[in-house]
Amino acid sequence: MLRYWLCFASAVCLAGHCGANYCRDANLCCPGRDSSCVVQKAHQNAIIEDLTDKPCYCDHACLKLGDCCPDFRETCGVIDCVVSGWGPWSDCDTNCGSGSMVRSRRVVQAPAHGGRHCPSLVQRRACQEHTGCAEDSDVPLRDETAMILPGVLSVSRHSNETVDIRKNLRLRNPDDPESNSHREYCAQFEVTKVSKFCHSDSDYKSLREGNTVCVLCETAALRRDLKWRCSGHGVAGHATRFYALVAPHCHGKWVKAAQNPDKHSDCCANPNFIFV
**Full residue range of the structural domain in which residue 113 is found:** 82-129
Of the listed ranges 41-45, 71-75, 222-226, the one predicted with least confidence: 41-45
pTM of the model: 0.52
Same domain, yes or no: 91 and 163:
no
Report yes or no on 261 lying in a domain: yes
**pLDDT of amino acid 101:** 94
199-235 per-position pLDDT tens digit: 888 889 899 999 999 998 888 888 887 878 888 888 8
Residues 143 and 269 in one domain: yes
**Domain-embedded: residue 255:** yes
Indicate if 170 and 259 belong to the same structural domain.
yes
Instruction: Round to whole Å and give the CA distance between 257 and 241.
Output: 14
Residue 134 lies in a domain: no
* 10 and 115 belong to one structural domain: no
The β-bridge partners of 107 are 83
> Could you give the CA distance from residue 269 to residue 25 in angstroms, rounded to a whole number?
85
The pLDDT of residue 159 is 46
pLDDT at 264: 62
- Whether residue 149 is found in the same domain as residue 116: no
The confidence score (pLDDT) of residue 239 equals 87
148-200 pLDDT per residue, tens? 999 888 754 554 455 555 554 444 555 555 567 778 888 899 999 999 889 88
User: Would you say 259 and 185 are in contact if contact means Cβ atoms under 8 Å apart?
Assistant: yes
Contacts within 8 Å (CB) and 24+ apart, 263-266: 263/184, 263/186
Confirm whether 208 is domain-assigned. yes
Whether residue 267 is found in the same domain as residue 199: yes
122-141 pLDDT, tens digit per residue, is 999 988 787 777 766 666 67
- Both 156 and 266 in one domain: the answer is yes
Domain end call among 75, 93, 114: 75
Q: Are residues 263 and 143 in the same domain?
A: yes
- Of 57, 75, 93, which residue constitutes the final position of a domain? 75
* SS3 per residue for the chain: CHHHHHHHHHHHHHCCCCCCCHHHHHCCCECCCCCCCEECCCCCCCCCCCHHHCCEECECCHHHHCCECCCHHHHCCCECCEECCCCCCCCCCCCCEEEEEEEECCEEECCECCCCCCCCCEEEEEEEECCCCCCCCCHHHHHCEEEEEECHHHHHHHHCHHHCCCCCCCCCCCCCHHHHHHHCEEEEEEEEEECHHHHHCHHHCCCCCCCEEEEEECHHHCEHHHCCECCCCCCECCEEEEEECCEEEEEEEEEEEEECCCCCCHHHHCCCEEEC
9 pLDDT above the threshold of 50: no
Q: Which of 63, 98, 129 is the last residue of a domain?
A: 129
Q: Report the C-alpha gap between 204 and 251 in whole angstroms.
A: 10
Q: Domain total for the chain?
A: 3
Q: Mean pLDDT of all residues in the chain?
A: 78
163 plus 51 within the same structural domain: no
Where residue 99 sits, what CATH number does that domain have? Answer: 2.20.100.10
